[in-house]
Copies of this chain bind each other. A is one copy, B any other.
Amino acid sequence: MKLSKEPYKGTRDFYPEDEFVQKYMFNTMRKAVERFGYAEYDASLLEETALYKAKTGEEIVNEQTYSFVDRGQREVTIRPEMTPTVARMVARKRLELAFPLRWYAIPNLWRYERPQRGRLREHWQLNVDMFGDNSILADAEIISVAGAIMKKFGAKKTDFEVHLNNRKLLTAVAREYCGCDEARAYKLFKLIDRRHKMDDDKFFAEAQALLGDKTEKLKIYLQSKTLADLPAELVQNAGVLELKQLFKILAEQGVANVVFDASLMRGFDYYTGNVFEVYDTDVKNRRAMFGGGRYDDLVGIFEVPPVTGIGFGMGDVTMRDFLEAHNLLPQYQPTAQVYLCVLEVGVQGFANELAVFLRQQGINVAVDYTGHKIGKQIQTADKQKIPYVICVGEDEAKNREFKIKQLVSGKENIVIWDDLPKFSFKS
């Protein structure tokens, strides 16, 4: 059988130029969140399947996870999201840890789904979480952190918009306002979560099947553009008060690109309070890029004293699309700054000495030991986008004087050995 050269379906190979972008994104995220004191953690890729059955959501666990039985008959799952893992870690050291905790991670996550734009089977996701602070200031900070990352990427405030809603409000809409029992409320949540994937006719037809004559009330609720538009029955709801506080704090902090979004739900079952999503405001790409929310009951499922949580996840595929669309990706810079081309086998030893010397000056140097013709060696440097080449032959070995060529400009500098430390190999 012929071996496939392609990566597994729905996944990506990251050649150095692709990995350069990944590293740029992850390091930018790291710098932004570390300014707020968040500390990086990590964990195993596999977890026992039971962890996700509790709160991730039925559809995801039953249809979209990579689950299997290991050689010791344990049911295991490749993590589809990080929040259950981090909640488990907090629960595991519940009594040793000092709260509030500010933690982040950039794990790869797996979902079995049909690959499509913005959706792959494997993606990486920045996870930023705060545990043990249930104040609305914590909610505001989490949204500020999301904004700080966007800013660090070079996005303008007008390039994105934060949508807000609250699970307590949504629960009141389903239960008291529309009269659902718990099971129907759950179905209504799943329906609202899929709203953007269907047209209004289909959406309200499905709502009608669930709610009957209460569908009109749902319609009124969903038409609310701001908190002030909400039906009178809902304005005293605890979720509305949380949203009002959050809007007030964000306004005080100068965060203006925030709107109420009545149909914002978020997919996971574990959210309990404010939830948010960040939208690209570009008309060509108007969609939710990432989001998160408050989940105050998740650590408690491990039968430890409860700890409140709030956080968000930012995926690499969507962010890369955004940065590309807004022309915010940096130009590729290879690792090697100088490529030493070697004219004769007899001077390979000398070329290596030169490389050792340059590396001692903090320069990244690769040497071509192949014995290829010099033109081919230079071509290798050029194709790998290495900015400078030095050709080393017997003359160079004897005179210890080198012609440093910048490939992109063709510019050449003659530099003697002792002056090499002063030469700037900037691209």
Contacts and interface: CB of A to CB of B under 8 A. Distances in A.
Interface stretch (A288-296, A363-371, A402-410): A363-371
Interface residues of A, number: 98
A122 B14 contact: no
A98 B48 contact: no
B371 A135 contact: yes
Interface string A15-39: 1101110110000000000111111
Interface stretch (A84-92, A233-241, A419-427): A84-92
A42 interface: yes
A2 B303 contact: yes
Contact of A253 (B88, B93, B101, B352): B352
A16 B33 CA distance: 14
Interface in A329-383: 334-336, 339, 348-349, 352, 359, 363-371, 379-380, 382-383
A205 to B, nearest CB: 30
**Identical subunits present:** 2
Contacts of A68: 66, 68-69
A66 B20 CA distance: 29
Contacts of A301: 3
A252 interface: yes
Interface in A98-136: 98-103, 108, 110, 112, 122, 132-133, 135
Counting from the closest, the 9 A-B pairs by CB-CB distance are A37-B366, A37-B336, A11-B44, A98-B383, A68-B68, A16-B39, A137-B369, A14-B42, A5-B92
